[in-house]
Structure 1
Amino acid sequence: MSDMQQTAGIIALDERWGAHNYHPLPVVISEAEGAWVTDVDGRRYLDFLSGYSALNFGHRHPDLVRAAHEQIDRLTLTSRAFHNDQFGAFCAELAELTGTEMVLTMNTGAEAVESAIKVARKWAYEVKGVAFDAAEIIVATHNFHGRTTTIVSFSDDPVAHDNYGPFTPGFVTVPYGDAQAVRDAIGPNTAAVLMEPIQGEAGVVVPPAGFWADVRDACTENEVLLIADEIQSGLARTGRLFALDHEGVRADLYTLGKALGGGIIPVSAVVGRADVLGVLRPGSHGSTFGGYPVACAVGRAVVGLLATGEFQERSADLGRHLHDRLEALLGQGVAAVRGRGLWAGVDLDPLGRTGREVSMALRDEGVLCKETHERTLRIAPPLVITRDEIDHAVDALERALKV
């Protein structure tokens, strides 16, 4: 079988038996290490997406692989019916890293957001005194927090939202980046403000300076929880542990996921104030795999990597170089560049090629990236990438824009 036949055969199998809820680039990856992946035909590509930030530490980081292997060789699952020797240590180490007081472990990012919504509502009824079933949560336009029925209820993306109703009530949407709109939306039934510090799926959108400080003040003044969804933006992606750290602002709750599992297994968490997460009592919330030993072992290794500060520093330093290189392409097929650290949204010239077309041209140049919406590339290389590899990828993008 020729190389092209092998690739085509695998893709055909995916298309025949898998639900068509994704539109992947036609490349079949079979091996990976660091910032590089290899397809079934033996061709290597530089990964410029990092599994939407799930692979912040690159593919198969040796510390993370070792932690997973060692744990799998000892113990895989106990459920939360019993204690295990990894859970408490993981919670303690993650709380220390994030400067928080309590940890709720889950599996996926959407589960973390769902859990934060449940906690905020329960807190509103039991602590703040909001009337039963009246709690409201303020969210932003162009948000992305996951794909469960409740979460898509407050999405304004028609592809994610339409035809999944009836929808969950209790959400108030305001323009992203408008602090006065947040203040105006707060009322006696407001339980929380839930937003991404930097919007990822929307195209790596950074709000105006001062926005988060204003929102924090509004929440504090009105006894409203601030929930920061750091599932994509957190864990060193932007050059700080949290994207919110750039603004000198602390949230009451943070949702974490993606990179927390090191690109090996799904691990997510809600971390924050003990008096808020403390509204959960035995039986009121749970997950069979949430906080299972393998997840905790890998999560502890991730915390260990972040505790050194090396990856935050790499993201900040290399991020400046990445943005300098990308901004040099303005007017050459690029209309705008946004982001922080090793995270960028690149808007393409509206009269030029689509994001899908540029992603395909990049693939042909040996770089893997992916569009969000029609004309924006979302760039998020692994934090282990080198300066020379960034130059290699941006040079490839420059060529792809001219094809």
Structure 2
Amino acid sequence: MTTVDQRTPAELAEAERYTAHNYHPLPVVVAEGEGAWVTDVDGRRYLDFLAGYSALNFGHRHPELIAAAHAQLDRVTLTSRAFVHDQFAAFCRSLAELCGKELVLPMNTGAEAVETAIKVARKWGYQVKGVENERAEIIVAADNFHGRTTTIVSFSTDPEARADFGPYTPGFVVVPYGDLVALAAAVTPNTVAVLLEPIQGEAGVLVPPTGYFAGVRELCTAQNVLMIADEIQSGLGRTGRTFAIEHEGVVPDMYVLGKALGGGIVPVSAVAADRDVLGVLKPGEHGSTFGGNPLACAVGHEVVRLLATGEFQKRSAELGERLHARLGELVGRGLVAVRGRGLWAGVDLDPALMTGRRACELLAERGVLAKDTHGSTIRLAPPLVVTEAEIDHAVDQLAAILAEAV
């Protein structure tokens, strides 16, 4: 093994020299990963408690997902949607069945899936609901995070994501998250959809009030408005259910999926809805050269197969109880509050002690990787393959940096 930090400074300097500064990463240069662990270029191991913002729900290099990718790499990786390949139908069928919907539309990134949902909702509004052309409105929540395209940042309330990227796309109405009264007041005859995260991840893993989404569902049904659940971060096992919206006992009209759907190997996203919604699209109106490619479908199909067993949802629910119990012990001992569901937690530190960024730096020094957001909040989202011992180890390291700061 090489000396610790022998290669890291040079690698960081090279990255700094040749890349645009759209991220502010921790000073860690990952070279290998397996399960819940990664190893840097100098041989130091870290427990990954971010899991690629939930893109790595199944851990690094899950053997069954890697095998599916390897097998497809030896056959065909891209055809474009000008043709049909032999992995396409099986992936689309299995994902539709997992979602309980009739159709799916595969894309690549989460932002592409959100853009797809927006286009579908608008077209549905004009062709099915009868909204006057160019007048469609979509209601979204403050503090949302749905991506960073020019359209999506148009309805962001985060100054860092939004500032200096205008002119902004019209057609969006922002209301407070979790406020059903405000949402109801915002609905007009031009409202075609309500687009919400079942849990707001970037905002600090914010869980809505009990009954909120049941009310949203009732309102959307009564007003003939599509209910769209952005499950890109919250879905596919992260919260102890296949979809986080299941905790609220409701079914949306459209699921927006991404991140974990690619198994941490390739970008795979999709929207899922019934035929009366997704069926409004006709050839030539929307697409992607790489969307639904053979490699993506092979990996995505294996992801769906893993989820269909219920094993990962069960692990997330059970291990999530342990994570939240352990974190709860630290409230009043450096932590102000803990939120979340399953293996997903938003942790508010006492701002008098340190920022979230400083906490993540100190955790990295102790071999645990996490990510800050909004001041003194950090997010914890380990892969669903994490063990009890690994959860305890990570929380112990958090407890140690808090104790040192008090």
TM-score of the superposition, structure 1-length normalised? 0.99
1:82 matched residue in structure 2:
83
2: distance between equivalents of 1:340 and 1:331? 20
Alpha-carbon contact 1:45-1:366 (below 8 Å) kept: yes
Amino acid of the residue matched to residue 198 of structure 2? P
2:24 matched residue in structure 1:
23
2: distance between equivalents of 1:295 and 1:120? 25
1: distance between equivalents of 2:149 and 2:356? 26
1:198 matched residue in structure 2:
199
1:216 matched residue in structure 2:
217
2: distance between equivalents of 1:77 and 1:6? 36
- Write out per-residue CA displacement over residues 77-99 of structure 1, whole angstroms, 9 at most, x where no aligned residue: 11000110011110000011111
Amino acid of the residue matched to residue 64 of structure 1? L
1: distance between equivalents of 2:351 and 2:371? 17
Amino acid of the residue matched to residue 303 of structure 1? V
Instruction: Tell me if 1:10 matches 2:11.
Output: yes
1:271 matched residue in structure 2:
272
Instruction: Tell me if 1:34 matches 2:35.
Output: yes
Q: Secondary structure at the match of 2:7?
A: helix
2: distance between equivalents of 1:2 and 1:20? 28
2:348 matched residue in structure 1:
347
- Write out per-residue CA displacement over residues 255-289 of structure 1, whole angstroms, 9 at most, x where no aligned residue: 00000000000000000121100000100100000
Within-5 A mapping of 1:13-162: 13-162=14-163
1:260 matched residue in structure 2:
261
2: distance between equivalents of 1:228 and 1:29? 33
Amino acid of the residue matched to residue 379 of structure 2? R
2: distance between equivalents of 1:180 and 1:217? 13
Amino acid of the residue matched to residue 255 of structure 2? Y
Alpha-carbon contact 1:305-1:311 (below 8 Å) kept: yes
Deviation at 1:2, TM superposition (A): 5.5
2: distance between equivalents of 1:380 and 1:311? 14
Deviation at 1:56, TM superposition (A): 0.2
1:310 matched residue in structure 2:
311
Deviation at 1:351, TM superposition (A): 1.2
1: distance between equivalents of 2:324 and 2:93? 36
2: distance between equivalents of 1:235 and 1:246? 13
Amino acid of the residue matched to residue 376 of structure 1? T
2: distance between equivalents of 1:4 and 1:344? 30
Deviation at 1:75, TM superposition (A): 0.5
- Write out per-residue CA displacement over residues 86-135 of structure 1, whole angstroms, 9 at most, x where no aligned residue: 11110000011111110000000000000000000000001100000000
Q: Secondary structure at the match of 1:215?
A: helix
Alpha-carbon contact 2:139-2:195 (below 8 Å) kept: yes
1:368 matched residue in structure 2:
369
Amino acid of the residue matched to residue 126 of structure 1? Q
Alpha-carbon contact 1:261-1:302 (below 8 Å) kept: yes
2:166 matched residue in structure 1:
165
Q: Secondary structure at the match of 2:21?
A: coil
1: distance between equivalents of 2:224 and 2:317? 34
**Structure 2 gaps, min length 5:** none
- Write out per-residue CA displacement over residues 181-221 of structure 1, whole angstroms, 9 at most, x where no aligned residue: 11111110000000100000000000000000000000000
Within-5 A mapping of 1:322-401: 322-401=323-402
Alpha-carbon contact 2:201-2:233 (below 8 Å) kept: yes
- Write out per-residue CA displacement over residues 290-325 of structure 1, whole angstroms, 9 at most, x where no aligned residue: 000000000000001000000000000000010000
Amino acid of the residue matched to residue 339 of structure 1? G
2: distance between equivalents of 1:61 and 1:20? 31
2: distance between equivalents of 1:3 and 1:339? 35
1:291 matched residue in structure 2:
292
Amino acid of the residue matched to residue 36 of structure 2? A
2: distance between equivalents of 1:307 and 1:322? 24
2: distance between equivalents of 1:265 and 1:374? 31
Amino acid of the residue matched to residue 13 of structure 1? E
Deviation at 1:370, TM superposition (A): 1.0
2: distance between equivalents of 1:391 and 1:4? 27
Q: Secondary structure at the match of 2:242?
A: coil
Deviation at 1:223, TM superposition (A): 0.3
TM-score of the superposition, structure 2-length normalised? 0.98
Aligned pair count reads: 403
Instruction: Tell me if 1:233 matches 2:234.
Output: yes
2: distance between equivalents of 1:35 and 1:196? 26
Taking a change above 3 Å as real, the CA distance of residues 2 and 310 of structure 1, as seen in their structure-2 partners, is closer
Amino acid of the residue matched to residue 380 of structure 1? A
2: distance between equivalents of 1:94 and 1:52? 21
Deviation at 1:42, TM superposition (A): 0.6
Alpha-carbon contact 1:359-1:370 (below 8 Å) kept: yes
2: distance between equivalents of 1:203 and 1:335? 13
2: distance between equivalents of 1:71 and 1:261? 14
- Write out per-residue CA displacement over residues 19-54 of structure 1, whole angstroms, 9 at most, x where no aligned residue: 100000001110010000001111111110000000
Q: CA RMSD in A?
A: 0.8
1: distance between equivalents of 2:218 and 2:68? 41
Amino acid of the residue matched to residue 340 of structure 1? R
**Structure 1 gaps, min length 5:** none
Instruction: Tell me if 1:281 matches 2:291.
Output: no
Alpha-carbon contact 1:365-1:400 (below 8 Å) kept: no
Alpha-carbon contact 2:6-2:42 (below 8 Å) kept: no
- Write out per-residue CA displacement over residues 43-82 of structure 1, whole angstroms, 9 at most, x where no aligned residue: 1111100000000000000000000000010001110001
1: distance between equivalents of 2:6 and 2:35? 28
Amino acid of the residue matched to residue 125 of structure 1? Y
